[in-house]
Amino acid sequence: MADRIATAPLDAEMRLRPVAGVEFKRDGVALLEIETVVQSTTIDAPDDQLRSGRLLSCLDGDTTIAVAARRADVGTDAASAILQTLFELGALEDVARRPVPATAFYLHVVARGKVWFHEATRGVLESARLTGPLLFGKLVENYHYVDSAVSHVSTAIAQAPTQRLRLLLGEFLADEYWHGLSLREGLKRAGLSESTLDEAEPLPTTAAVINLLRVVAQTHFLGYAACGGVSESPTGCEGLAMVNEGNWNELYARNLLPDAVLAPFREHEALDAMADHGALFIEPFIERGPLASEECREIEATVRRMCLAWGEAHRGIVRFYGAQTELLPFSRHTPLFHDA
Ligand SMILES: [Fe+2]
């Protein structure tokens, strides 16, 4: 397994069980690989494979970490470390509802959020089924999302509990300002004038995501940070950059829109990854002590809600832009009876 961020140890009274949908690839007792729809993690050392496999066999939701370690004949510290890694990968969940170290929970909920996001949006705007208007709509709504960052990041800055967090979020917002301008240039290359772009508005379904983030930034700072961890480019997620490169190359090859239109959107992904935006959102959790079960459930619900809202945002693009013949954005001039 890759090196992971050091986090405080889990409570030995937690009762863990495998998360539904996670695939545990085994060879006999040994656990070789953990796979979700967005990430796969291999366990390299044969000794770790055996210990992980024995521990996993003991996890039924009724057995504490301490008892599982004894039954699996694994030292307490080693068992805790292994199970903590699986928890942080989003492969295990706690049934005992014990307090959880904040950073461990952040990694857990972000890993699960990436799966929820994938599931909520699966099959809606797949590259292979994109048409010119659908791709155009995807880019326009992406532009609105980036351009509206100020509306929720500014609120998060005001709500951030420490000066350090306020500064980090301020830097993030400054990045997004320039990113929004560069995406706008891309849309101009698709033939949109300044005034058309000024009058463009996010689809109601995209606005719902933005409004959700705005409200969460105001009322639930840790939930907001967890949403940021799911949405922003992940750190240290090996292979992801190559997968994205492959997707972009396929998209270019289909000639749905001129390369010059796509270029800033492609560059934006690379810029976000280089700026390591995904790493920012763990910071509020590093500053926190253990999270009570109620706090964890609330953060989880917020992240799920955002993922579902993104699913609706993607469907909104299909409904509106899928019915368009011209490359024109949804705007204040769009008739309200339109099914958007
Ligand atoms: Fe960005």
What does the pLDDT look like over 253-275, one tens digit per residue? 999 999 999 999 999 988 888 88
Please tell me the distance from the alpha carbon of residue 149 to that of residue 214, in angstroms, as a whole number. 9
What does the pLDDT look like over 126-163, one tens digit per residue? 888 899 999 999 999 999 999 999 999 999 999 999 99
- Which residue in this structure is represented by tokens 């998360």? 19
What does the pLDDT look like over 302-333, one tens digit per residue? 999 999 999 999 999 999 999 998 899 999 98
pLDDT score recorded for residue 232: 84
Lowest mean pLDDT among 18-22, 33-37, 122-126, 261-265: 122-126
What does the pLDDT look like over 167-208, one tens digit per residue? 999 999 999 999 999 999 999 999 999 999 999 999 999 999
pLDDT score recorded for residue 237: 43
Assign 3-class secondary structure to the chain: CCCCCCCCCCCCCCEEEECCCCEEEEECCEEEEEECCCCEEECCCHHHHHHHHHHHHHCCCCCEHHHHHHHCCCCHHHHHHHHHHHHHCCCEEECCCCCECHHHHHHHHHHHHHHHHHHHHCCCCCHHHCCHHHHHHHHHHHHHHHHCHHHHHHHHHHHCCCHHHHHHHHHHHHHHHHHHHHHHHHHHCCCCCHHHHHHECCCHHHHHHHHHHHHHHHHCHHHHHHHHHHHCCCCCCCCHHHHHHHHHHHHHHCCCCCHHHHHHHHHHHHHHHHCCHHHHCCHHHHCCCCECHHHHHHHHHHHHHHHHHHHHHHHHHHHHHCCCCCCCCCECCCCCCCCC
What is the 174 CA–ligand 1 centroid distance (Å)? 9
The pTM (predicted TM-score) of the whole model is 0.92
Q: Max CA-CA distance within the chain?
A: 69
Give how far the C-alpha of residue 179 lies from the chain's centroid of Cα atoms, to the nearest Å.
19
What is the 318 CA–ligand 1 centroid distance (Å)? 23
What is the 25 CA–ligand 1 centroid distance (Å)? 36
CB neighbour burial string for 258-273, b if at least 16 within 10 angstroms, e if fewer:
eeebbbbbbebbebbb
pLDDT score recorded for residue 306: 97
What is the 292 CA–ligand 1 centroid distance (Å)? 32
pLDDT score recorded for residue 29: 96
pLDDT score recorded for residue 240: 47
> Sorting pLDDT into bands at 50, 70 and 90, what band is 71?
very high
Please tell me the distance from the alpha carbon of residue 148 to that of residue 322, in angstroms, as a whole number. 23
Closest CA to 330 of 204, 208, 194, 214: 204
The tokens describing 230, both together, are: 């799911």
pLDDT score recorded for residue 78: 94
What is the 274 CA–ligand 1 centroid distance (Å)? 10
> Sorting pLDDT into bands at 50, 70 and 90, what band is 236?
very low
What is the 312 CA–ligand 1 centroid distance (Å)? 22
What is the 235 CA–ligand 1 centroid distance (Å)? 14
> Sorting pLDDT into bands at 50, 70 and 90, what band is 2?
very low
What is the 168 CA–ligand 1 centroid distance (Å)? 14
What is the 215 CA–ligand 1 centroid distance (Å)? 21
Residue 117 has pLDDT above 50, yes or no: yes
pLDDT score recorded for residue 235: 46
Instruction: Collect all residues with Cβ–Cβ distance below 8 Å to 310 and sequence separation of at least 6.
Output: 117, 120, 121, 209
Please tell me the distance from the alpha carbon of residue 25 to that of residue 52, in angstroms, as a whole number. 11
What is the 271 CA–ligand 1 centroid distance (Å)? 7
Query: What residues have their beta carbon closer than 5 A to ion ligand 1?
Result: 176, 179, 272
What is the 186 CA–ligand 1 centroid distance (Å)? 14
Residue 10 has pLDDT above 90, yes or no: yes
